[in-house]
Structure 1
Amino acid sequence: MQNIGEWGVGLFTLLETVFPPIPSEIVLPLAGFLSQQGDLNLVLVIVTSTVGAYLGALLLYFLGAKLGLERSIRGLSKLPLVDRSDFEKAADWFGRHGRSAVFFGRLIPGVRSLISLPAGAARMNLLTFSIFTVAGSALWNTLLISLGAALGTQYNLIEQYSRYLNYAVYVAIAGVVVWLVVRRIRRNRLPAD
């Protein structure tokens, strides 16, 4: 994280927006922690992560607008570790809540990355989409980065247990990947209706 810097954090956030299995819940608190240690600029980390989230959301918005919802879902659900039902849930949420789903969707894991597709397919006003996306993303990113920075004040405690914390992070990442793979295999084995 120190090597990629603030703009690398923005790139990770862009990738997390487009490819949901990359967890912002791990990347952003770590960036906040490093900013507390003086390795990264806190304000720039918040700005770049929000810009990255917005650019990723725009990419999905335009994909939804260009291809339509069904074709977008069909194509993107073929990505590894991504499931069609995740896209369908985001589309359903957008259908029930309209444009407010874009703002509040940025605060909900699983919906955060995917809500842009139905917004684009519905041709939501781009300025409104942009304002809600930037506001929701900035709020979420600031929260996660600030939590990581707050942990930075407990450096001695973290340093003492960092080896165990590393193991816990590795186990959590492996668990998420295994869960996504198992879910994908189970869905592929279900008979078609």
Structure 2
Amino acid sequence: MFLLGVPDAHEPAGGLAGWAVDLMGSLGGPGAALVVGLDNLFPPIPSEIVLPLAGFSASKGVFSLVEALIWTTAGSVFGAVVVYLAGMLLGRDRARGLVARIPLVKVSDFDRTEQWFAKHGSKAVFFGRMIPLFRSFISLPAGVERMNFAKFLSLTTLGSLAWNTVFVVAGYLLGANWYLVDEYAGVFQQVVVGAVVVATGWFVITRLRNRRSVDARK
């Protein structure tokens, strides 16, 4: 926060945080969408930092909280769609080769995401929006496998909105202390992973019970 023209000690002044806040201040909501969209196209940009900054900018009156949520979600979805189309047009091998050229990114990250998508399908697209790196890569195998686009779009939108809401609102409420959000990001991510495990276990158990019920009737 600013007091008599002097920035608070935690006011973003440089680096990624300063650049993101400046861009949002200059372009408003579209700037927030652009910054968040880059998280999908260049995974090393962490949304756990960018999203609280959108909330912080909203707390300063750059745009409203609702606008922050709308624009950041729009940016997430747009970036995901670009990656989905890349996977669809390039195919697996060329998409994997493209990932290998991205600085600070490992091909093994793509491989794990691909395996996760093959195993969980729709659930991977929804929950993948809430897990670092998976969030950026999950759209590639969805595109490669030509997942139904309407289904992909709806799951991506819902997953992105859920993830963005947590971090944007936290940044909005914390204001100049937005940086504290990052300290708890790992906890939230663990909750999401736990939810995926529980959902998968419930699905498997339900399938097995149904199969036994059918076998018992024969």
Q: Please give the TM-score of this superposition, normalised by the length of structure 2.
A: 0.68
Q: Matches of 1:38 and 1:91 in 2, distance apart?
A: 41
- Map 1:1-193 → 2, pairs under 5 A: 1=21, 2-152=25-175, 158=177
Q: Would the aligned equivalents of 1:31 and 1:40 in 2 still touch at CA under 8 Å?
A: no
- The aligned amino acid for 2:52 is P
**Uncovered stretches (5+) of structure 2, i.e. residues with no partner:** 1-20, 183-218
Count of matched residue pairs: 158
Q: Matches of 2:108 and 2:137 in 1, distance apart?
A: 11
Q: Matches of 1:39 and 1:8 in 2, distance apart?
A: 11
Match of 1:181 in 2: none
**Uncovered stretches (5+) of structure 1, i.e. residues with no partner:** 170-193
C-alpha RMSD over aligned residues: 1.8
SS of aligned partner of 1:68: helix
| Alpha-carbon distance, 1:22 to partner | 0.6
Identity of aligned residues (%): 44
Q: Matches of 1:78 and 1:39 in 2, distance apart?
A: 36
Deviates more, 1:127-136 or 1:36-45: 36-45
Q: Deviations over 1:76-123 (max 9, x none)?
A: 221111211111111111011111100010011110111000001111
SS of aligned partner of 1:113: helix
Q: Matches of 2:53 and 2:79 in 1, distance apart?
A: 21
- The aligned amino acid for 1:21 is P
- The aligned amino acid for 1:46 is L
Q: Would the aligned equivalents of 1:7 and 1:45 in 2 still touch at CA under 8 Å?
A: no
